[in-house]
């Protein structure tokens, strides 16, 4: 028996370490690739502003990530997520023990490794995580987009991937339970938790009738399986929407303060606000390619969990429009990742005009969603590199114009998003490019732009017929632009327009601008 135990101890040490080294190598490569891709975005205009006020950012991160303040607004899934997340923090101590056991079967964490409280918490959270994934499974089944269609907040999400993760979490708990039960039987008085580990003791009672030799084998196999599941889980997380596990704290830290619902950001190019009187020769107005977005936008895209909370609250989506803020973020992310070889790996860009998008058709509707623009063209071929960021199905666009112009800028998506994605900034930036560079916008906006052009305000009003309730209304002429400001109640909106330049060619600055600020304080 001693020989068998010794042989198994050596075998599991070799297998466990080897698998860990190989997987960590792949994981590190992926992390470097993701870091390079996300940071390939443009600088932010308020680069320093996103990194100052660290105490406030730290507190906010604790509130949103550790206390789950946004997720808990939805009580049942919020509580399930709370226990699942904290379960993983506590169960990290079990993985520490698992690696220790590879080297020494009687390993215990220094100082706290024999505390009954820790043994209890490990077992309690293992069961809490199990309860959490059962709740998630029930929510997924009752909100199945295959049966309730657009009413489901998961409509358009990678639902297969979500089930894959739930199964992986279940396997983590299953292997934990078997490993711990067998360990109690094999180690006896050397098991670290003589009290408190109630679930492990229960599993031990179930496995005890199989005999000592069987428990020795079971402990070794379950230990390796427990480590193996974690390693596979790590790779899945790094290649799926579950990237949010690592990215959400970072995204929350660099959010706009107090939130992304403040005034629109100025139009920026390479981290500097554009001077409309004298724009740089190569300045890009808004975002016309995926490479034009900032690193924070890239981070937003990569952090989306596909939870669909934004979609469920979006007035456009709920009134049958094609816009889903979730699908916008997913489509941008999928396009960014598919175009990565051209952005960060040095793959040469195909010649402009070398792809005939009209011949590609629009048969590829990934996620089974007609509004899904990314899936019109998949893979990293030349079509992916050259497709327009905004365009119809025939043009191979990533975001459909109907999607882009359905947004009311109401902010419900930003308010709901548990990982603080700033949808409106990205939607507005894409619109800016469409208006100012492409001169592509819905016909209904023609009157508004004309009024801005000729009267300097969107309603063709003059100072004499300022809207009731306005406390000030000005319209002044400069050499190339008119500006206006209107205050109503405690809010102020101002704008300016460059007359005669509304429908000009790329790189010329027609640039109407509208900026509304909330009341001070
Ligand atoms: S801001 Fe736009 S995308 Fe977001 S919820 Fe409102 S309408 Fe939908
Ligand atoms: S609420 Fe945020 S994380 Fe959830 S789907 Fe929308 S953008 Fe993604």
The string of DSSP letters for 83-102 reads: HHHHHHHHHHHHHHHHHHHH
Residue 406 clears pLDDT 50, i.e. is over it: yes
- Rounded-to-integer distance, Cα 168 and Cα 370, Å: 30
Comparison of pLDDT for 481 and 143, the residue scoring more = 143
Kindly identify the ligand whose nearest atom is closest to the C-alpha of 419. 2
Phi, psi of 127 (to 5 degrees): -70, -35
Q: What is the pLDDT of residue 26?
A: 98
Kindly identify the ligand whose nearest atom is closest to the C-alpha of 162. 2
Confidence class for position 475, pLDDT limits 50, 70, 90: very low
Structural tokens at position 109: 């964490």
Weakest-pLDDT range from 367-381, 417-431, 432-446:
367-381
Residue 481 clears pLDDT 60, i.e. is over it: no
Reported as a single tens digit per residue, the pLDDT across 336-356 is 999 999 999 999 999 988 888
Nearest CA owner, ligand 1 atom 8: 314
Q: Beta partners for 485?
A: 474, 494
Sheet containing 491-497, strands listed edge to edge, beginning at the edge strand earlier in sequence: 470-477, 482-488, 491-497, 513-517
Kindly identify the ligand whose nearest atom is closest to the C-alpha of 428. 1
Bond prior to 258 in cis (omega within 30° of 0): yes
Confidence class for position 466, pLDDT limits 50, 70, 90: low
Residue 14 clears pLDDT 90, i.e. is over it: yes
Structural tokens at position 50: 């996103």
- Rounded-to-integer distance, Cα 332 and Cα 403, Å: 13
The whole-number average pLDDT for the span 174-195 is: 97
Mutational pocket test of ligand 1: of 411, 413, 429, the residue with most ligand atoms within 8 Å of the beta carbon: 413
Decide whether any atom of ligand 2 lies within 6 Å of the 227 Cβ: no
SS3 call for 474: strand
Confidence class for position 77, pLDDT limits 50, 70, 90: very high
Q: Which atom of ligand 1 is nearest to the CA of 314?
A: 5
- Tell me 9's DSSP state: H
Residues in contact with ligand 1 by the CB-under-6-Å rule are 314-316, 323, 325, 407-413, 423-424
∠ CA 446-447-449, nearest 5°, is 65
Kindly identify the ligand whose nearest atom is closest to the C-alpha of 251. 2
SS3 call for 212: helix
Distance 303 CA to ligand 2 centre (A): 8
Residue 520 clears pLDDT 50, i.e. is over it: no
Q: Write the CB contacts of 2 (distance below 8 Å, at least 6 apart in sequence).
A: none
Confidence class for position 479, pLDDT limits 50, 70, 90: very low
Q: Compute the residue count for the chain.
A: 521
Q: How far is CA 257 from CA 46, 202, 266, 304, 439, in A?
A: 11, 49, 16, 19, 33
Kindly identify the ligand whose nearest atom is closest to the C-alpha of 309. 2
Q: What is the pLDDT of residue 361?
A: 57
Q: What is the pLDDT of residue 464?
A: 63
- Rounded-to-integer distance, Cα 217 and Cα 434, Å: 65
Decide whether any atom of ligand 2 lies within 6 Å of the 332 Cβ: no
Residue 367 clears pLDDT 60, i.e. is over it: no
Residue 121 clears pLDDT 90, i.e. is over it: yes
The whole-number average pLDDT for the span 157-176 is: 96
Confidence class for position 40, pLDDT limits 50, 70, 90: very high
Confidence class for position 498, pLDDT limits 50, 70, 90: very low
SS3 call for 514: strand
Q: Which residue has the tokens 């657009």?
A: 150
Distance 305 CA to ligand 2 centre (A): 6
Nearest CA owner, ligand 1 atom 2: 407
Reported as a single tens digit per residue, the pLDDT across 290-335 is 999 999 999 999 999 999 999 999 999 999 999 999 999 999 999 9
Confidence class for position 454, pLDDT limits 50, 70, 90: confident
Kindly identify the ligand whose nearest atom is closest to the C-alpha of 325. 1
Distance 401 CA to ligand 1 centre (A): 15
Q: What is the pLDDT of residue 485?
A: 53
Q: How far is CA 56 from CA 49, 59, 239, 241, 296, in A?
A: 12, 5, 32, 28, 19
**Quick check: 426 and 328 in contact, CB under 8 A?**
yes
Q: Which atom of ligand 2 is nearest to the CA of 416?
A: 1
SS3 call for 124: helix
- Rounded-to-integer distance, Cα 96 and Cα 245, Å: 19
Comparison of pLDDT for 477 and 399, the residue scoring more = 399
The whole-number average pLDDT for the span 377-383 is: 91
The whole-number average pLDDT for the span 198-207 is: 98
Q: 67, 201, 177, 68: which is closest to 125 by C-alpha?
A: 177
SS3 call for 87: helix
Distance 72 CA to ligand 2 centre (A): 15
Nearest CA owner, ligand 1 atom 4: 413
Rounded to an integer, what is the distance from CA 311 to the centroid of its chain?
14
Confidence class for position 458, pLDDT limits 50, 70, 90: confident
Query: Which alpha helices (H) appear in 239-324, and where do they start and end?
Result: 244-253, 295-303, 309-313, 315-318
Q: 277, 314, 234: which is closest to 19 by C-alpha?
A: 234
Percent share of the chain, pLDDT over 90: 69
**Quick check: 188 and 106 in contact, CB under 8 A?**
no
Alpha carbon dihedral 24, 27, 29, 33, in 10-degree steps, equals -160
Q: What is the pLDDT of residue 497?
A: 47
Kindly identify the ligand whose nearest atom is closest to the C-alpha of 327. 2
Decide whether any atom of ligand 2 lies within 6 Å of the 300 Cβ: no
**Which residues of 335-458 form beta strands (DSSP E)?**
none
Weakest-pLDDT range from 163-172, 308-317, 370-379, 490-499:
490-499
Nearest CA owner, ligand 2 atom 2: 417
Structural tokens at position 150: 């657009």
- Rounded-to-integer distance, Cα 37 and Cα 31, Å: 10
What value does the mean pLDDT of the chain take? 87
- Tell me 30's DSSP state: H
Percent share of the chain, pLDDT over 70: 87
Decide whether any atom of ligand 2 lies within 6 Å of the 417 Cβ: yes
Distance 134 CA to ligand 2 centre (A): 22
Q: Which atom of ligand 2 is nearest to the CA of 300?
A: 7
**Quick check: 266 and 274 in contact, CB under 8 A?**
yes
Structural tokens at position 194: 């003589």
Distance 346 CA to ligand 1 centre (A): 36
Confidence class for position 487, pLDDT limits 50, 70, 90: low
Distance 315 CA to ligand 1 centre (A): 7
Q: Which atom of ligand 1 is nearest to the CA of 414?
A: 4
Decide whether any atom of ligand 2 lies within 6 Å of the 419 Cβ: yes
Distance 407 CA to ligand 1 centre (A): 5
Q: First and final CA of the chain: distance in angstroms?
A: 74
Residue 23 clears pLDDT 70, i.e. is over it: yes
**Quick check: 143 and 153 in contact, CB under 8 A?**
yes
Reported as a single tens digit per residue, the pLDDT across 246-277 is 999 999 999 998 888 888 889 999 888 998 88
pTM of the predicted protein model? 0.86
Nearest CA owner, ligand 1 atom 5: 314
Q: Write the CB contacts of 495 (distance below 8 Å, at least 6 apart in sequence).
A: 452, 457, 458, 483, 484, 512, 513, 514, 515
Nearest CA owner, ligand 1 atom 6: 410
- Rounded-to-integer distance, Cα 315 and Cα 417, Å: 15
Q: What is the pLDDT of residue 376?
A: 86
Distance 183 CA to ligand 1 centre (A): 53
- Rounded-to-integer distance, Cα 120 and Cα 196, Å: 4
């Amino acid at each position: 028996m001693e020989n068998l135990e010794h042989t198994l101890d050596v075998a599991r040490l070799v297998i466990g370490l080897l698998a860990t080294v190989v997987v960590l190598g792949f994981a590190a490569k992926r992390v470097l690739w993701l870091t390079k891709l996300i940071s390939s975005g443009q600088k932010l205009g308020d680069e320093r502003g996103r990194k100052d006020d660290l105490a406030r950012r730290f507190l906010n991160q604790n509130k949103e990530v550790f206390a789950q303040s946004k997720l808990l607004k939805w009580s049942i899934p919020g509580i399930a997520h709370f226990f699942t997340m904290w379960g993983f923090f506590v169960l990290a101590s079990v993985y520490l023990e698992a690696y220790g056991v590879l080297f020494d079967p009687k390993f215990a964490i220094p100082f706290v490794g024999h505390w009954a409280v820790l043994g209890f918490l490990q077992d309690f959270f293992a069961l809490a995580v199990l309860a959490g994934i059962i709740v998630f499974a029930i929510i997924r089944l009752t909100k199945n987009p295959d049966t309730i269609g657009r009413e489901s907040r998961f409509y358009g999400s990678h639902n297969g991937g979500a089930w894959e993760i739930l199964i992986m979490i279940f396997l983590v708990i299953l292997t934990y339970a078997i490993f711990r039960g067998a360990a109690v039987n094999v180690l006896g008085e050397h098991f670290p938790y003589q009290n408190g580990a109630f679930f492990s003791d229960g599993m031990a009672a179930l496995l005890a009738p199989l005999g000592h030799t069987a428990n020795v084998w079971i402990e070794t196999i379950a230990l390796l399986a427990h480590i193996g599941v974690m390693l596979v889980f790590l790779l899945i997380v790094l290649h799926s929407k579950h990237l949010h596990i690592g990215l959400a704290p970072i995204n929350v830290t660099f959010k706009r303060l107090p939130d992304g619902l403040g005034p629109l950001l100025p139009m920026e190019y390479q981290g500097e606000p554009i001077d409309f009187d004298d724009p740089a020769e190569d300045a890009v107005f808004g975002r016309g390619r995926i490479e034009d977005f900032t690193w924070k936008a890239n981070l937003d895209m990569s952090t989306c969990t596909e939870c669909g909370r934004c979609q469920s609250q979006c007035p456009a989506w709920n009134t049958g429009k094609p816009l889903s803020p979730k699908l916008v973020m997913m489509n941008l992310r999928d396009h960014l990742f598919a175009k990565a070889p051209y952005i960060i790996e040095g793959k040469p860009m195909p010649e402009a005009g070398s792809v005939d998008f009209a011949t590609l058709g629009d048969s590829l509707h990934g996620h089974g969603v007609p509004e899904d623009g990314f899936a019109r063209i998949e893979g990293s071929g030349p079509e992916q590199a050259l497709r327009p960021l905004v365009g119809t199905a025939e043009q191979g666009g990533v975001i459909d114009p109907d999607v882009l112009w359905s947004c009311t800028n109401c902010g419900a998506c930003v308010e709901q998003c548990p990982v603080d994605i700033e949808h409106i900034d990205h939607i507005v930036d894409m619109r800016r490019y469409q208006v100012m560079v492409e001169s592509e916008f819905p016909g209904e906006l023609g009157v508004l732009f004309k009024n801005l052009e000729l009267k300097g305000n969107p309603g063709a009003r003059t100072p004499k017929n300022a809207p009731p309730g306005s406390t000030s209304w000005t319209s002044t002429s400069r050499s190339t632009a008119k500006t206006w400001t209107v205050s109503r109640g405690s809010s102020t909106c101002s704008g300016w327009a460059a007359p005669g330049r509304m429908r000009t060619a790329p790189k010329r600055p027609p640039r109407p601008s509208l900026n509304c600020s909330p009341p001070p304080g």
